[in-house]
Structure 1
Amino acid sequence: MAAAMQALEVVLMQRTTEGYGDSEGTRSLLGLVEECERTKDVAAALETFCLGEGDALPLLRAGLGRLEPVLRGASASDSWIEKLEKVLEGDGGKVTDGEVKIGYFLVAVASLLVFVRANVTGPPAEAVGEDPEACAREDGAGARSKGEEGKAMSRKWILKHMSVDGEYVAGKPELVGYLCTASTIFRGVDFADSSDVELATAPWWKLRTLHLHQKLLSKNSATLKESLVQLAKELSKTFRDKDEDLWGKGCLAALEMECAMVMQTYHCVNEASDFIGMASDRLGMDLRQTGVMGKRTVHQVDAKAQMVLLTERKAGENSSSAAEREDEKLPKDWLMEGLDQEDILLLPRLEGEEEEVTDLSHAEQALVLLWLVQVSKNQARTDLQSWEMMPYVQCIFKQDPPGAFAKMAATLHAARFERERNRTRERSLVRMEKLVEALALPTPSVSMRISGAFTIAFPPLPLFQKEYGEQLLSNAMVGNALIVFEKYEQWDNLIVCYQLLQKTAQAQKLINDRLEESPDDPRLWCALGDVTKDDSCYVKAWERSGKRHARAQRSLAASAMRNDDYKPAIESWELALALNPLHPSGWFAVGYCYMRENREDDALKAFTRVTQLNSENAEAWNNLAALHMKRRTWKMAFAALKEAVRLRRESWQLWDNYIEAGLRCGHVMLGVYGLQKVIAMESCHKVNLFSLELLLRIIRDAKHSGSSGAKTKVEKSGDISDEDLKTLEIHDSDDEEEGQEQATSAFENDLPAAGSKEWKAMEEKILDILKKFAATSAAGHQLWRIFGSYYKMVESYASMKEMYLKESRALLGLQWKGDEELFSRIVQSSADLLDAAIKCTEANPEDKSGVSSLKYHFKGIVKQASNHFEDSSDLKELKKVLERAESICN
């Protein structure tokens, strides 16, 4: 019995991962299933699925046959899902009868496979109704559940069974009852409970079911995340040492890839990378990108470097080509016919091409596509990203032949990359249209598509059709997009279409008609609120959902924010986030509301939560840094700004804050690097020169001390008020307390030794930065003063005098008469200018022309200032400066 059950599980897993067809190993395993008395009735159904057309309905019927004894007492008025729930509740999840446990397992697995066929891989099965129990009958009774009764049943199941943490299904999936069946069984049956039947893969199938459920929801769910992450870790340990000869390397690697996909869904990039590394090691395959000379366009004359992906097998690893295990052959130009009519080639023509592997197995192709997703999540989104991703797609296209589902996924990625470029936007739309057709056409069969359905990322049908509709909309095909959105009940997008067509009244009528059929659907009430701009619709959605529809509160919060009413917005956001805390945009919005309400402690926690959920949110890192800068916790601010500038390297504001925070933490050389990045930007003239002045002050103090690592006293930035500082309490961590001390006391800097070769190189870099700033519109009195400070530090007094003279003239060019603060700066500038001239005279005592010319400069300032600042102490100081100049000349 144990051998037969293990064989059954292995065959199912191999068929859905590596696509094993009519091989000797598969038939041997099927023989074990048939020979066992307790599983022989399943053998024919299993053979149909594995060696036939991939139809899972016979497996469903076999499973239901074993469940007849436990379902016999259920009420006939109950729906199928209600029967299951009541039976499982009565048993408490404990199933001691091995036959019944096998029945539950087969029903759940088969139901999931039917749902995947209808919503992920295609093609749709014929005569399959909404009710799994009725559809599994061989008398064809399932067809009766396909009318209005079936639609009503489907809507009921979507609302009651598919909502998790206040998040509802996005759109309208097909045959949702089958996913509900699988989810109900895997949640309700304890397959690990002791009995004479051991089902090692039950948690694996549960992982697949819950992950697909998560993909269908509008937002990530905290409940599903907890379950999926725990399952992934447990499965990795359980299957790590399984017999590769029995299970197959590809099958065991598939588990690690599926765990990686779970981690990617929840933005756990490091954990995903670990699982991908384990899968790569198991398959013995390495990937590396390199450049090869080639041509990308039809009319290109000279070859240019083209990025390609090379797949390398480790020593001793042999090919396990997918082509050998398929009864059918995939047409080489499938999904690509007619795409070569444009100037840009589908695949670059390479010259001197390195030897490439073109016989990757299904698992190896899935690994290539998994790496593609991982690389995109590992780096900030830039204009070059699509060029770095495309080699992974081209690697799949070069396979001879590729797996059917792998090619579908690669085509989708190619369409996403190409829609970003004007020259290939039309081709991108054609690719999407071909995918829409492929999902509906009967060829290639589901038996060719099923391998990779769980190891390759591909959106479920409602989300794929939504993406297709959005692309139609971006190409101004509003009418076609409207049809797609209405069919799959993408209400938000549908409203946009009607608004573009200026037919808002029709949108309202359509939603009202749907509400007559489903008055308790909170998604429809929210859509009505979007159309009418009536907050009472969102309140109605909240009430009709039993206060479980997070989107309703999010809409109320957004409405309040538009009216600058932040207190009720906070209340609504808190209710929504209490239901589903895995919503980065929600935490960001409530953080903004907290800031507007001066609740900075709460804002800090909110933005921290955003970065925990999505580490790629540059705005959240920036806001987090701004709060820490206001608190003067510079270490924390600098850590946040490092992430922010990594994600948005083109933002001069982020770099400006990065420089200041770095300098206040003692990272002087990083401050110099930051200034080099800023000066290379077109917007460098907008930068506040405070950081540049602070840098010069730190370097000057270090030079005067005569050693590296000098302690520098840094004053607080002028943009942080003492009043703000008095109202803040810092109690988040020890690091923050250290940061506060650092903000007001001396710190160790990372400068090289004064006078060393590295020091001189640093001075040259700073001089270059100053010259570049001087060549921009940022050149003003503040910059000339900083420039003068630099020349004073390097003891170049003639240049110092020239810079201070420029500063003085720049100040006199302003509206300073009557402005005491500006006049005070002019007086200070005059004193510095005279000191610089005296330094020049000391170097050459015979030449006093420099001071002599300044005497007339000072006289002119005194004459003008006397009419406006007669009793000013600053005027007295200016007269003293003039007297000093006259005494030197005499």
Structure 2
Amino acid sequence: MNNFVRIERSVVLGQCVYSSEDLSACETTAKGNDASLLRFLCERFLRGEFCEVFSDERVKELTKVSFREGCFDQLYQKCANYLGTDNSCVRQLAVLLIGASALKLFIQSNWTGPAASGSEEIFTDVTGDECHRLCVSELEINGEPSYHLIEEPAFLIVAKAFLLSCRRLLSACSTADWWAYRCAFVHQLVLLDRSFSLYKEISERLSQVEESTFWAGDDDMSHKLKMQFLMEAAMAHLYYFEVTKCRSYLDKAKLLSHFDFELTGALGKRTYHQENALSQLVLSVQRKGSCVEDLQPACPLVHFPKNLPLKDDTIMNEIKFDHEVSSNTCLAPEEQCLILTTCILNKNISAPEALRDEEMMAYIERVLSMPLAWSVQFSALFQRCRLETKSSRRVERSMSQLQGLVDAVKASEPHAGIRQELFFCTRSPSVWDIEKELGHLFFSLGATKSALDVFLKYELWEEVISCYTKIDRRDKAEAIVRRLLEQEETAHLYCLLGDATQDPQHFEKAWEISKHTSSRAQRSLGLMHYHKKEFKDAIPYLEKSVELNGIQMNVWFALGYSAMQVEDYPLCVKAYKRVVNLDSDSFEAWNNMASAYIHMGDKPKAWKVLQESLKCNYEDWRVWENYLLVCADVGAFEECIKAWHRLIEIKGKHADGKLAKILVKVVSEGIPDMHGKPGSYLKPKLLELFGRVTSGVTNDADIWYCYGSLYKLSREEGDSSEEDTERMLQFFQKSFRCLSQKQNWEKDVDTCSEVLTRSKELLECYMSSIESIPNKQRRHQLLSSARITMKGTLAIVDRHKANFTSEQLQKLEPMVNSVTEKLEQVTALTASCD
């Protein structure tokens, strides 16, 4: 491994892991001032003194440009000129360090603290508020604006120029793609919505980093680099709803880390007044290899974000377990990130419920039990705050903890370098995210004025409008937005005005002002029609919105549903395919896509799609019901029987007479399944299924008839016992009883015809099978029962002849005569048994 790679590894990790010999060896290849500049940049960067970097005249020479003459072009040109005169590894590394320092300063200003400055000298022709406004505007991408109160936006512009625009010029730097990804992701975090172009950039850079070899090796440093990359990649994909990719990276990280963790139960007490220990959720951690040793916090714990205790007179601050659980297993900070990211993933893909929150709390408490990295502690506390807002006994701590996190950002210690270790591996909130959460907490507690004060202070206009809308004061929201529009007209503000007034003209105005680039404007117009159930009108706007920004999962879903409502099934499939590409666990999207395929007549595809839907949600009876029917259509008869069993497990009972008849026909005629196997092999499984169905549903004539038909089939095949014959007769009798107990069957000619047909079939069945029963007394008993039932049926038909027309009576007369004839034969058989 060469000296430059070791230095780059240190820079990526934010930890000094190179030796002075590495730096000296690099300096020997440098010319003129380059050696001292490289040493200066390395030392300042790894000490977290990022502001010092931009106070150096040599750095100022590279970064000072005129904004109005094209800041990105000028910064790129300065880098190109600097590298062009002597395109050495030293100079490329210097450019990378300057760009990384700018990115770190931007993160310091908006996420981790302490407050930073120094960007005022970057642009020579603009200063103050004007500079800030122009920088924020410059960071807009494809019509997606950034949050307008970000601090020191000039640093992000420098970082983008040096790390993204100049990436191809840094061919000697092994970590250029990694830093380019980080820069693009930070830019995404300050946008008000997800950007498709940044998504593509991030995906490409992550692929390049994954294919690189600079982290090859089995040493501790290589292990740290691999873990950090896997965690960063997982977090990025989770941000874009790509659950499958996120989980894949987490699985790789878990495999690499050589430890297992799972939720389990342990006896303990949660409340002060609890007398008996009960099973409590806890995250059990087991290390496979040797223990991690010499783990120390990155700085004194007094400088970490404070973990405030729970001051409640009932619930304990921590669960008191009867026996010590595996919390003494030491975890490296990267491994804590793995647990925390797994927690966030599970939270995102699970429906909100009390059990889910308890599970998440077990993950978070495990991370908080051993503070090692500032950013991990910060992120874990924020996630706990979000969970505790729903608990009346914990909400007070949540409120205090959120304020404590704001105070931690403002504190002067520790330095920025320590705060930003593992920053990209955690879901650390920005300052405005914390304040937004605090505002939502106030609103949920009914403190509307306090919530509005927070939202107004940080100019979170969407939250302000939402807040006023919820208290039915849209007029105030409108007044605020109109006042802002008097200062500056932007597409985003017109969209907000449309939200406040629900007037589509404002969204149209936003579309025009953005020069037809605002996906937000088209989305709002489309969703306005969608919520009014004007699906045909919604589709063009929704299509245009996803054309401009293809990672709006909610818009793709709305487009798919709208297309289904207007019977545009190819568009419906296209939209839902995009939804499941973004979130493969969206069972509703899979299910709706299957429905579209069914309407298109492509049932084999529908069958495969429904299988994916069931992987996402194994408990939804509606999906299983669709799957059951499609299985029958495509010839997956064994799967059909399994699906029926599953429906009974979920619903308690389920009957489908039509499907039962199909399955009996498959068995009786040996109809081949989708694999070409004759269906006769399914008879034992079908008998088991009908037994389970009839235990829950006792009044379905078709089910009892099909059940009896299976035993009749066994008799015809010569594979039945006396007991089977009795079962057959019993099930046919129950089927007939269910049919004849239908209300007013005797007044409807079709139902009456069906009863008479079944009567004839039942009598024939008795006559053909009664010889199989050797006991004369039992034969007499069965035949007598059938005779009495049929005589009663004929009597009912005769009493209600007046309900039918002469034509209907002509239709029924042959049936009545046929049943009468069979009844006489049964009567004779009964007499022979005496």
Q: TM above 0.5, one fold?
A: yes
Give me the whole-angstrom Cα distance separating, in 2, the residues matched to 1:231 and 1:580. Answer: 19
Q: Which residue of 1 aligns with 2:61?
A: 68
Give me the whole-angstrom Cα distance separating, in 2, the residues matched to 1:91 and 1:868. Answer: 97
Q: How has the CA–CA distance of structure 1 residues 237 and 644 changed in structure 2, closer, same or farther, with 3 Å as cutoff?
A: closer
Partner SS state of residue 424, structure 2: coil
Task: Find the partner of 1:328 among 284, 300, 314.
Answer: 300
Q: How has the CA–CA distance of structure 1 residues 602 and 373 changed in structure 2, closer, same or farther, with 3 Å as cutoff?
A: same
Q: How has the CA–CA distance of structure 1 residues 502 and 356 changed in structure 2, closer, same or farther, with 3 Å as cutoff?
A: closer
Task: Find the partner of 1:257 among 231, 237, 241.
Answer: 231
Q: Is the contact between residue 784 and residue 806 of structure 1 (CA under 8 Å) also seen in structure 2? A: no
Give me the whole-angstrom Cα distance separating, in 1, the residues matched to 2:744 and 2:482. Answer: 65
Measure how far apart 1:223 and its partner are. 1.9
Q: Which residue of 2 aligns with 1:770?
A: 694
Q: How has the CA–CA distance of structure 1 residues 542 and 675 changed in structure 2, closer, same or farther, with 3 Å as cutoff?
A: same
Q: Which residue of 1 aligns with 2:43?
A: 47
Q: Is the contact between residue 183 and residue 210 of structure 1 (CA under 8 Å) also seen in structure 2? A: yes
Q: Which residue of 1 aligns with 2:718?
A: none
Partner SS state of residue 516, structure 2: coil
Partner SS state of residue 741, structure 2: helix
Q: How has the CA–CA distance of structure 1 residues 430 and 788 changed in structure 2, closer, same or farther, with 3 Å as cutoff?
A: farther
Q: Which residue of 2 aligns with 1:863?
A: 799
Q: How has the CA–CA distance of structure 1 residues 509 and 700 changed in structure 2, closer, same or farther, with 3 Å as cutoff?
A: same
Q: Which residue of 2 aligns with 1:885?
A: 823
Is 1:454 the equivalent of 2:424? yes
Measure how far apart 1:184 and its partner are. 2.8
Q: Is the contact between residue 548 and residue 579 of structure 1 (CA under 8 Å) also seen in structure 2? A: yes
Q: Which residue of 2 aligns with 1:803?
A: 734
Q: How has the CA–CA distance of structure 1 residues 751 and 496 changed in structure 2, closer, same or farther, with 3 Å as cutoff?
A: farther
Which amino acid in structure 1 is aligned with residue 157 of structure 2?
C
Q: Which residue of 1 aligns with 2:310?
A: 339
Task: Find the partner of 2:754 among 825, 828, 833.
Answer: 825
Measure how far apart 1:541 and its partner are. 0.5
Which amino acid in structure 1 is aligned with residue 671 of structure 2?
K
Partner SS state of residue 571, structure 1: helix
Q: Which residue of 1 aligns with 2:505?
A: 536
Measure how far apart 1:787 and its partner are. 5.5
Q: How has the CA–CA distance of structure 1 residues 322 and 839 changed in structure 2, closer, same or farther, with 3 Å as cutoff?
A: farther
Structure 1 window deviating more from structure 2 (227-236 vs 344-353): it is 344-353
Task: Find the partner of 2:52 among 51, 58, 64.
Answer: 58
Task: Find the partner of 1:640 among 598, 609, 623.
Answer: 609
Give CA deviations for 1:715-756 in whole Å, capped at 9, x if unaligned.
Answer: xxxxxxxxxxxxxxxxxxxxxxxxxxx6xxx964788565xx
Give CA deviations for 1:438-480 in whole Å, capped at 9, x if unaligned.
Answer: 3344455534321121111223334443344333333323222
Give me the whole-angstrom Cα distance separating, in 2, the residues matched to 1:476 and 1:865. Answer: 71
Task: Find the partner of 2:111 among 120, 124, 128.
Answer: 120
- Once the two structures are aligned, what percentage of the paired residues are identical? 22
Q: Which residue of 1 aligns with 2:164?
A: 187
Q: How has the CA–CA distance of structure 1 residues 381 and 712 changed in structure 2, closer, same or farther, with 3 Å as cutoff?
A: farther
Q: How has the CA–CA distance of structure 1 residues 510 and 26 changed in structure 2, closer, same or farther, with 3 Å as cutoff?
A: farther
Is 1:851 the equivalent of 2:786? yes
Measure how far apart 1:560 and its partner are. 2.6
Give me the whole-angstrom Cα distance separating, in 2, the residues matched to 1:350 and 1:27. Answer: 49
Partner SS state of residue 454, structure 1: helix
Partner SS state of residue 425, structure 2: coil
Q: How has the CA–CA distance of structure 1 residues 184 and 501 changed in structure 2, closer, same or farther, with 3 Å as cutoff?
A: same
Measure how far apart 1:281 and its partner are. 5.0
Is 1:621 the equivalent of 2:590? yes
Measure how far apart 1:274 and its partner are. 4.3
Give me the whole-angstrom Cα distance separating, in 1, the residues matched to 2:600 and 2:689. Answer: 32
Q: Which residue of 2 aligns with 1:86?
A: 74
Task: Find the partner of 1:157 among 135, 147, 160.
Answer: 135
Give me the whole-angstrom Cα distance separating, in 1, the residues matched to 2:586 and 2:678. Answer: 30
Structure 1 window deviating more from structure 2 (105-114 vs 336-345): it is 336-345
Measure how far apart 1:526 and its partner are. 0.5
Give me the whole-angstrom Cα distance separating, in 2, the residues matched to 1:501 and 1:281. Answer: 50
Q: CA RMSD in A?
A: 3.7
Which amino acid in structure 2 is aligned with residue 497 of structure 1?
C
Task: Find the partner of 1:435 among 379, 384, 405.
Answer: 405
Structure 1 residues 705-854: aligned runs within 5 Å: 710-712=670-672, 748=677, 754=683, 759=684, 763-774=687-698, 779-781=699-701, 785=705, 789=709, 795=725, 796-811=727-742, 813-814=743-744, 817=747, 819-838=748-767, 841-842=770-771, 843=773, 845-847=779-781, 848-853=783-788, 854=790
Instruction: Give the gaps of 5 or more residues in structure 2.
Output: 714-723, 829-834
Measure how far apart 1:790 and its partner are. 6.0
Give CA deviations for 1:607-626 in whole Å, capped at 9, x if unaligned.
Answer: 22221222122221111111
Task: Find the partner of 1:221 among 186, 189, 195.
Answer: 195
Q: How has the CA–CA distance of structure 1 residues 184 and 342 changed in structure 2, closer, same or farther, with 3 Å as cutoff?
A: farther
Which amino acid in structure 2 is aligned with residue 397 of structure 1?
L
Q: Is the contact between residue 244 and residue 583 of structure 2 (CA under 8 Å) also seen in structure 1? A: no
Structure 1 window deviating more from structure 2 (793-802 vs 177-186): it is 793-802
Give me the whole-angstrom Cα distance separating, in 2, the residues matched to 1:789 and 1:421. Answer: 58
Give me the whole-angstrom Cα distance separating, in 2, the residues matched to 1:869 and 1:852. Answer: 28
Give me the whole-angstrom Cα distance separating, in 2, the residues matched to 1:877 and 1:130. Answer: 100
Which amino acid in structure 2 is aligned with residue 802 of structure 1?
Q
Which amino acid in structure 2 is aligned with residue 88 of structure 1?
Y
Q: How has the CA–CA distance of structure 1 residues 107 and 162 changed in structure 2, closer, same or farther, with 3 Å as cutoff?
A: farther
Partner SS state of residue 421, structure 2: coil
Give me the whole-angstrom Cα distance separating, in 1, the residues matched to 2:470 and 2:676. Answer: 59
Measure how far apart 1:657 and its partner are. 1.1
Instruction: Give the gaps of 5 or more residues in structure 1.
Output: 135-140, 714-741
Q: Which residue of 2 aligns with 1:578?
A: 547
Give CA deviations for 1:92-132 in whole Å, capped at 9, x if unaligned.
Answer: 7994244764554333212211111122223433xx37646
Structure 1 window deviating more from structure 2 (424-433 vs 509-518): it is 424-433
Q: Which residue of 2 aligns with 1:200?
A: 174
Give CA deviations for 1:519-567 in whole Å, capped at 9, x if unaligned.
Answer: 1x21110010111121110011111111111010011112233444434
Q: Is the contact between residue 663 and residue 695 of structure 1 (CA under 8 Å) also seen in structure 2? A: no
Task: Find the partner of 1:485 among 444, 447, 455.
Answer: 455
Measure how far apart 1:317 and its partner are. 5.8
Which amino acid in structure 1 is aligned with residue 784 of structure 2?
S
Higher relative contact order (CA 8 A, sep 6+): 1
Is 1:608 the equivalent of 2:602? no
Partner SS state of residue 446, structure 2: coil
Give me the whole-angstrom Cα distance separating, in 2, the residues matched to 1:170 and 1:882. Answer: 86
Give CA deviations for 1:335-381 in whole Å, capped at 9, x if unaligned.
Answer: 33331425333432233335444543322322322333445567777
Give me the whole-angstrom Cα distance separating, in 2, the residues matched to 1:331 and 1:786. Answer: 74
Q: How has the CA–CA distance of structure 1 residues 528 and 132 changed in structure 2, closer, same or farther, with 3 Å as cutoff?
A: farther
Q: Which residue of 2 aligns with 1:13?
A: 12
Give me the whole-angstrom Cα distance separating, in 2, the residues matched to 1:285 and 1:230. Answer: 30
Is 1:593 the equivalent of 2:584? no
Measure how far apart 1:860 and its partner are. 1.0
Partner SS state of residue 846, structure 1: helix
Q: How has the CA–CA distance of structure 1 residues 531 and 270 changed in structure 2, closer, same or farther, with 3 Å as cutoff?
A: closer
Count of matched residue pairs: 802
Which amino acid in structure 2 is aligned with residue 304 of structure 1?
L
Give me the whole-angstrom Cα distance separating, in 2, the residues matched to 1:322 and 1:185. Answer: 35
Structure 1 residues 167-182: aligned runs within 5 Å: 167-169=144-146, 172-182=149-159
Give me the whole-angstrom Cα distance separating, in 2, the residues matched to 1:588 and 1:270. Answer: 18
Task: Find the partner of 1:653 among 610, 614, 622.
Answer: 622
Give me the whole-angstrom Cα distance separating, in 2, the residues matched to 1:227 and 1:374. Answer: 23
Which amino acid in structure 2 is aligned with residue 188 of structure 1?
S
Give me the whole-angstrom Cα distance separating, in 2, the residues matched to 1:348 and 1:856. Answer: 71
Q: How has the CA–CA distance of structure 1 residues 256 and 484 changed in structure 2, closer, same or farther, with 3 Å as cutoff?
A: same
TM-score between both structures, scaled by the size of structure 1: 0.81
Task: Find the partner of 1:287 among 244, 258, 261.
Answer: 261
Which amino acid in structure 1 is aligned with residue 322 of structure 2?
E
Measure how far apart 1:182 and its partner are. 1.2
Q: Which residue of 2 aligns with 1:110?
A: 101
